[in-house]
Chains A and B, each alone.
Chain A
Amino acid sequence: MDWQALTLSLRLATWTVVVLLPIGVLVARALAWRRFVGRRLTEAALALPLVLPPTVLGYYLLSAFGTQSALGRAFVSLLGHPLAFSFAGLLVASLIFNLPFAIQPMQRAFEAIPADIRPAAACCGMSPWRIFTGIELPLAWPGVLSALVLTFAHTLGEFGVVLMVGGNIPGETRTIAIAIYDRVQAFDTSAAGLMAAVLLALSLIAIAIAYSTSWRTEAARG
């Protein structure tokens, strides 16, 4: 059992969730309520990672992050090391890959809030911030929570992109999914089996949470 890899994956998933929470809420809310030019296009672009093969994203990230590109060299002068093959690089890849998992459930949740509630609250003298924290978030939170849980679980399981931009470095880019692959290749089936079971359990818990919150939303709506 590679505890270091598990910790690394949990750290990566936590950071992904923390960074995507404010981004997701803002973007999902805008997509749900605002009508602006290019809205459909934005939605389509944000859904792209759902169908994009991980190797395609991995390839582009590797080209962008590696030291053979201008952008990559800019990162090196900024960070002192290339973005590829580092934890920060994995985080960037993970953020991109999880955009639809974070935004779509949140968007559905915000869309479900009746349109006349906010003007009504404003009429009662509530400030936009009070409306957001006191009315919107409490109504949308099951969607927000299931978005975060899905993002977390999806990050734990991400393999293709990590394999391409990570480099399998223990403690830095060897996530649990990569560690399983690594252990299978080393014929260490007991460690691979244990880690696979841990990932299976975590995924089951995540799905259970995500489903129970969406069930609660439906129940609340009647």
Chain B
Amino acid sequence: MYERIRRLAAIATLLAGALVLPFAAQASDVPNIAAASDLQFALPDIAVAFERATGQSVRLSFGSSGNFRQQIADGAPFDLFLSADASYADALVRERRTLDAGVIYAIGRLALFVANDSPIAPDAELRGVAAALAAGRVSKFAIANPAHAPYGRAAQQVLTHAGLWRSIEPHLVLGENVSQAAQFAASGAAQGGIIAYSLVRAPGIAQRGRYALLPASGHDPLVQKMVLLQRADATARAFYAFLQQPAARAIFERYGFDLPPQPMMGTPSVRRAPA
């Protein structure tokens, strides 16, 4: 019986030992960056370039812009928010949760992506989608959730303009963000998907299927805006400035983003002096 107690005590000691691991968050001098999931591949490259150039690092979190906008309003500890559209960034500006009015860093493009064994032939006019739909060969088609993901909204506009929305709606699977929609399409679980062009170009996805870049005229422009948030420190500001430099712009371009017509160089206008 006492043997058992001793064993219990040993387990308790083990557990207590694990507690020596620090409880509090680690030093918060590394800024948290909330980024739309279409930046899943471009932004890590830019962060590496930033680290090489300045020796400073950033922590990246990817998700749906709408969710991040909500979480930031609820007090999530992010320093910089790269939204996949302007409205979510602007809403935070209106609510005075930002240090500046924001900067447009890229224009997103859509692509039709189909897995290698898909019955859909990819083309920019979605004729292949219409044909496959008419032939009853599309059981699932992936887009991001139009309710809170900007790429989902744009995909809905493209499908509506092509006159396909009604017929494709029963077949839609909605990704929580555009990256999940890409996952659905690339895995072949959905016969195709309208996703971010920036994701289609990434090596992990490109080899899994074929794609067609969709014309930008088919949907409202995916103006991607970033804003510095209240708690941004010097590193976050430096990263914000770096994202507007030629080196970062070149990486955005390489991943298939269009660049804002007016390159905004130098330090962004910041409303409040650093604390």
Whether B21 and A11, one on each chain, are in contact in the complex, defined by CB atoms closer than 8 angstroms, is yes
Does B179 sit at the interface, judged by CB under 8 A? yes
Does A76 sit at the interface, judged by CB under 8 A? yes
Whether B5 and A133, one on each chain, are in contact in the complex, defined by CB atoms closer than 8 angstroms, is yes
| Segment touching B, from A12-20, A110-118, A153-161, A199-207 | A12-20
Whether B62 and A85, one on each chain, are in contact in the complex, defined by CB atoms closer than 8 angstroms, is no
**Using Cβ atoms and an 8 Å threshold, which residues of chain B touch A18?**
15-16, 19
Which residues 1-43 of B have a CB within 8 angstroms of A?
1-2, 4-5, 8, 11, 15-16, 18-19, 21, 23-26, 32, 34, 37, 40-41
Whether B8 and A145, one on each chain, are in contact in the complex, defined by CB atoms closer than 8 angstroms, is yes
Q: Taking the nearest CB of chain B, how far is it from the CB of A220, in angstroms? A: 11
Whether A168 and B61, one on each chain, are in contact in the complex, defined by CB atoms closer than 8 angstroms, is yes
Q: Taking the nearest CB of chain B, how far is it from the CB of A145, in angstroms? A: 7
Whether A82 and B75, one on each chain, are in contact in the complex, defined by CB atoms closer than 8 angstroms, is yes
Within 8 Å by CB of B75, from A7, A84, A168, A185, lies A84
Q: How many residues of A contact B (CB 8 A)?
A: 41
Whether B75 and A67, one on each chain, are in contact in the complex, defined by CB atoms closer than 8 angstroms, is yes
Q: Taking the nearest CB of chain A, how far is it from the CB of B57, in angstroms? A: 11
Q: How far is the CA of A81 from the CA of B231 in the complex (A)?
A: 11
Whether B74 and A15, one on each chain, are in contact in the complex, defined by CB atoms closer than 8 angstroms, is no
**Using Cβ atoms and an 8 Å threshold, which residues of chain A touch B205?**
187
**Using Cβ atoms and an 8 Å threshold, which residues of chain B touch A168?**
61-63
Within 8 Å by CB of B77, from A10, A15, A169, A184, lies A169
**Using Cβ atoms and an 8 Å threshold, which residues of chain A touch B40?**
185-186
Contacts A68-B73, A137-B8 given: A87-B23 contact, CB under 8 Å? yes
**Using Cβ atoms and an 8 Å threshold, which residues of chain A touch B25?**
86-87, 171-172
Does B234 sit at the interface, judged by CB under 8 A? no
Within 8 Å by CB of B23, from A15, A67, A138, A171, lies A15
Does A170 sit at the interface, judged by CB under 8 A? yes
Q: How far is the CA of A108 from the CA of B25 in the complex (A)?
A: 37
| Nearest chain A residue, comparing its CB with the CB of B41 | A186
Within 8 Å by CB of A185, from B26, B34, B183, lies B183
Contacts A10-B18, A11-B21, A187-B202 given: A86-B62 contact, CB under 8 Å? no
Q: Taking the nearest CB of chain A, how far is it from the CB of B218, in angstroms? A: 25
Does B180 sit at the interface, judged by CB under 8 A? yes
Q: How far is the CA of A186 from the CA of B37 in the complex (A)?
A: 9
**Using Cβ atoms and an 8 Å threshold, which residues of chain B touch A10?**
18, 21
Within 8 Å by CB of A85, from B8, B15, B71, lies B71
Does B76 sit at the interface, judged by CB under 8 A? yes
Q: Taking the nearest CB of chain A, how far is it from the CB of B213, in angstroms? A: 19
Contacts A62-B74, A66-B75, A86-B77 given: A138-B59 contact, CB under 8 Å? no
**Using Cβ atoms and an 8 Å threshold, which residues of chain A touch B149?**
none
Closest A-B pairs by Cβ, 7 of them: A66-B74, A187-B204, A82-B75, A67-B75, A85-B76, A185-B179, A14-B18
Residues of B whose CB lies within 8 Å of any CB of A are 1-2, 4-5, 8, 11, 15-16, 18-19, 21, 23-26, 32, 34, 37, 40-41, 59-63, 71, 73-78, 177, 179-180, 182-183, 186, 202, 204-205
A-B contact pairs, 12 of them (CB 8 A): A11-B23, A66-B75, A67-B74, A85-B74, A85-B76, A133-B5, A134-B1, A137-B8, A138-B5, A167-B61, A170-B59, A185-B177
